[in-house]
Amino acid sequence: MTTETTATIQVYRVWIKASPERIWAAITDPEWTTRYGYAAPVEYDLRPGGAYRSTATQEMKDFAKANGFDVPEIIVDGEVVEADPPRRLVQTWRMLMDPGTAAEPFTTLTYEIEEAKMQPGVHKLTVTHEVTGAPRTAEMVAGTEDSGAGGGWAWILSDLKTLLETGKGFGER
């Protein structure tokens, strides 16, 4: 996996031995999203102007309560800008589970799925997160040690790749 980071645009790439349709489903289908990354279910209305949201898991709620804070039911929200299954998804994105990120403007998240020219059956997933004007969000999704948010996009995409290639995400036995 390669990573490119600037103050306003973060780009993450991972090559996955899976079809574009499986990768697309893993990004947009809650049955998949509960099996990798932070395991939060997603809801997409995959048309321009359609709603996007991700909801808190019981594990997230329990962790928050044990540590003296609350997590809202909807932890990330946004709107679909463009959907071209199974190749491209552009959406707005705002993290609501942290007051600092919730106060920032919506950011733009783009998923692009392309055939890897070097190997049949392998596809490149590029995630571009435009975080202009959202420094706390940029820090959290980059997975910096100071963010307190875990591994960010690099960790999520590594887990997604593992799930699609092995049938099990990091947290599954």
Superfamily (CATH H level) for 2-166: START domain (3.30.530.20)
What integer is the mean pLDDT of 51-64? Answer: 93
What integer is the mean pLDDT of 131-150? Answer: 81
Higher pLDDT, 148 or 91: 91
Query: Of 156, 69, 110, 106, whose CA–CA distance to 171 is shortest?
Result: 156
CA angle 19, 114, 78 (to 5 degrees): 90
Rounded to two decimals, the pTM is: 0.90
- E-strand stretches of the chain: 2-5, 9-16, 42-44, 51-55, 74-84, 88-95, 107-115, 123-130
What integer is the mean pLDDT of 108-115? Answer: 98
What integer is the mean pLDDT of 151-155? Answer: 90
Which tokens belong to 11? 């780009």
pLDDT(148) > 80: no
pLDDT(63) > 90: no
